Structure 1
Amino acid sequence: MSNPFSSGAAVLDARGRLRPAAHSGRLTPYLLLAPATILFAIFMFYPLLYTLYLSFFDWNMTRPTKEFVAFDNYIAVFTDPNFGKIMGNTALYILLLLLFDFAAPYVFSFILSFVVQKGKNFYKSSIFLPSVISLVVGTMIFVWLLNPISGPVSAVAKALGVTIPIWSNTQGLVIVVLSIITSWKIFGYNFIVVMAGVSSVPLEVVEAARLDDVPNWRIFLNIVVPMSSSTGIYVLILSIVTGMQQIFTPINMVTQGGPDYASTNLIYAVYDQAFGFFKTGTASAYAILMMLLFGFLLFLEFKFVEKSVYYEN
């Protein structure tokens, strides 16, 4: 019969009790992380590396061979006369999404938590309801509402003597409307998350400030926002990442990036180059630039924003 202690699987402690060897549990964390690591490798790391690989080739997804062109795809992107407009549109989308899906939910959450006394459940349900509706359906609803000829908004404007422009063909306005459509969809979820963080602010602190006649806007900026910043930082990142993903749907349904690239951002440029012009290399170069942009935004967030985040525990 073999010695159960010869393999090092167990040892005796000072009291003579059987204990597992120290090194026997070293592999346990890696085994527990293995399933998630494998999934990340298959569905994230490999596609990312393959996209980087394709960005150095000229390929239309139909030819059996790829032509190595080094950095020509990146040069083509940076020398494209529409590249500056695409980057400007992307920055404008991000700013509008942060305004509609980060700043606005904070204000609404504060009002419902500390200002409004009645009907809170009704308001919460009403605000969250669009989150369960398909963005495709929501886009169709907004297209009907904002139809400059026969839409309800146009009818009301005509009754007031106001002319509604064709927003889908108007530079600048088209980005604002597309951002509103996207925000209508994701606003509710962000609101519920922010509401949870704002509601965790101790009511005693707010009441003490009110006893000192501190106005609501100062309570919001100096007390509620700092003390709920751990939730806010999550919603900040979520607003950028989710918003930029979701806004592809109304762009593709309504404007297809037009007029004259007025509504095209980096994400739609990837799709347009890959499946509109079949330029896989150029599309991959746009995708890498988009990844670098998100990485730069995360770097700024961790360097300048994360330091001031308040964690209750």
Structure 2
Amino acid sequence: MQTAPDAGLDRAFLQQVEADVRRALAEDVGSGDLTAALVPEGQTARAGIVCREAAVICGQPWVMATLGQVAPSAVATWHVADGGRCTPGQTVVEFTGPARGLLTAERTCLNFLQTLSAVATSTALHVAAVAGTGAAILDTRKTIPGLRVAQKYAVRCGGGRNHRMGLYDAILIKENHIAAAGGLGAAFAAARRHGAQARFIQVEVETLDQLEEALQAGVAMVLLDNMPIERIRSAVRMAAGRCSLEVSGGVTLARLRELAETGVDRISVGALIKDIRAIDFSMRFQAAPVERTRGAAAPA
């Protein structure tokens, strides 16, 4: 099978893609595609996936993995790479291969493309809204269960950055952690003792007094949670570059520019992933088959 370029995609990532596709095919195909079985076994075909609207494309590794599992002899030609923009009505990828396999792969391919392109497109809109301010757009852990790697990849395709992948790779001390640990200082001290493997330690604050306490404790990354705009401006002045400041909570596209212009370093936006509208894709087959063969192999 002709594969999509995967520069920068490590082995663990590609294994996760394969696992995502296996789950998707298991719930869709189950014991077999009863409708695709109506097509003669040796028939080959050409098909293309068209995007019906302007979008940032994302999902190529998942599409290629789907073909690899149900139509391994298929050949794919991509016209828009992940992270690239398409225009309404543009064909983003064309396939040549076994008709049965392409029919079986159709819905799984489209599901991944419509969801991941939606995340990438939404992210690109948010990134554009803060252009020139110096603020970075980050995602959150508010992902569809089982698709975190996929959706965080889509955020990167849209020009955003990933926050922590999960609870295992970084420490974010939130309100409940502070209460359970006996205070902000105690929670941060415990994190420094036990967080050697964490990529970063971040503390969430809700008031300027908490921010001052975090600064006095030597916290390098602070998350300003659900603060009104004037309090965020005061926080930036108070921090004066002594720590990295991130805004989270109640962030909308409409107020994103105003938040970025306060001088914060990062803005995390749950809506990038959880409030998306699927991008409109469809797969179209040629009216006539490419050829009929006794075997299942597609032409080179």
Shorter-chain TM band: under 0.3
TM-score, normalised relative to structure 1: 0.22
Higher-Rg member (1/2): 1
Q: Compare the two structures and name the one with the higher strand fraction.
A: 2
Per the normalisation by structure 2, the TM-score is: 0.22
Larger helix proportion of the pair: 1
